[in-house]
Amino acid sequence: MASVSEMYDVGWEEMRDKLRKWREDNFRNSEQIVDVGEELISEHGSKLGDDIWIIYEQVMIAALDCSRDDLALTCLQELRKQFPDSHRVKRLSGMRLEALERYDEANKHYDAILQEDPTNTAARKRKISILKAQGKSTEAIRELNEYLEQFVGDQEAWHELSELYINEHDYGKAAFCLEELMMTNPHNHLYCEQYAEVKYTQGGLENLELSRKYFAQALRLNNRNMRALFGLYMSASHIAASPKVSAKVKKDNMKYASWAASQINRAYKSLKRFVKHLCVTNAINYIHFSNRI
């Protein structure tokens, strides 16, 4: 099988930089990370300097994702040799046990870390992940709520909690989590847009109006967010179609909806390859008369 460097004609520095980019952007493209990382470590390990340790960690986690226990164990053993008492490495051992579905052993591992360091957030979050993996959503939600009472600033945790609530169809609580995230990240268009989606799903006129406002806000923060644009169209259309609104509200929302529709059509038309079946004009008219889910 051809090596990554042969197939893509890249040198080891580019491979190392790619891995760093994936690390920084928190991508979960595990198969690619394994391909690139495994080759980088085995062929160019000596050139990486101290970078090699964080690469071992990244490749180990990706290897767990791909059921490559052989590779994961190799990386783990190197890390254990280099950092014998590290809690960070102990957490990786725990993750390996999780991947092998040895949850009781993994939990013991994390409990041992927490005995020595009760503030270790990583171990606590892994324990919650185990609950999630076992399908124990209620317990996971409860533990995560308790965690957030102590670690109020942990955005990853708030986001995870919002997803857990959405999966349980508890949209009100999911919205609360997203409100926390929006407060601390007022310029993040993704949180705005997700909040709008949750409000829309909750339903009811008041939530629809809120959802329209937040779709609009997301669009203001990033005018290329297609979900926000579609969302603005959908929410405005539904408000305009509601029998409970005044004539003025109806008129305003029809204006917003038709603006959004024209922007959507513009976005599709601006694609150099304008594909006929992506014609949105007819679809937009059709949405007007569709029922809500």
Partner 1 sequence: MPIQLTSQAYCKMLLHAAKYPHCAVNGLLVAEKTKDKKKDSHSEPVLCVDCVPLFHGTLALAPMLEVALTLIDTWCKENNYVIAGYYQANERTKDSRLNQVAEKVAARISENFSESAIVMVDSSRLTMSCFEPIVLIYDHHENKWKSREVTVDSFEDWSEAQKITSALLENRCYENLIDFDNHLDDLRNDWTNPVINKSVLDLC
Residues that bind partner 1 (CB under 8 A): 28, 31, 65, 133, 135, 163, 166-167, 169, 194, 196-198, 200-201, 211, 226-227, 230-231, 234-235, 267-268, 271, 273, 275-280, 282-283, 286-287, 290-293
Question: Residue 117 has which token pair?
Answer: 């360091």
Own/partner contacts of 237-245, CB < 8 Å, gap of 24 or more, are 237/287, 237/288, 238/208, 238/292, 239/205, 239/208, 239/209, 239/212, 241/288, 242/205, 242/208, 244/205, 245/205
Listed in sequence order, the residues at least 6 apart from 240 whose beta carbon sits closer than 8 Å to its beta carbon are 249, 250, 253, 254, 257
Instruction: Please report how close the Cβ of residue 48 comes to partner 1 at its closest, in angstroms.
Output: 26
Cβ nearer to partner 1, comparing 47 with 220: 220
User: CB 186 → partner 1: shortest distance, Å?
Assistant: 22
C-beta of 135 vs 153, nearer to partner 1:
135
Output 73 or 226, the one with its CB closest to partner 1: 226
Looking at beta carbons only, is 2 or 293 nearer to partner 1? 293
Q: How far is the CB of 271 from partner 1 (least distance, A)?
A: 6
The distance of closest approach from Cβ of residue 116 to partner 1 in the complex, given in angstroms and rounded to an integer, is 30
- Which tokens in the block code for residue 19? 């891995």
Type of residue at 154: D
The CB-of-85 to partner 1 minimum distance in angstroms stands at: 31
Longest Cα–Cα distance in the chain: 73
Cβ closer to partner 1: 226 or 254?
A: 226
| Residue 120 or 207 having the CB closest to partner 1 | 207
Alpha helices in 203-246 (DSSP H): 205-221, 226-241
Interior CA angle at 52 toward 48 and 53, to 5°? 155
Separation between Cα atoms, residue 231 and residue 84, nearest integer Å:
51
Please give the structure tokens belonging to residue 109: 């591992």
Beta carbon of residue 103, minimum distance to partner 1 (angstroms, whole number) = 12
Please say which residue, 65 or 105, places its beta carbon nearer to partner 1: 65
Closest CA to 55 of 34, 37, 74, 32: 37
State the minimum distance, in angstroms, from the CB of residue 266 to partner 1. Answer: 11
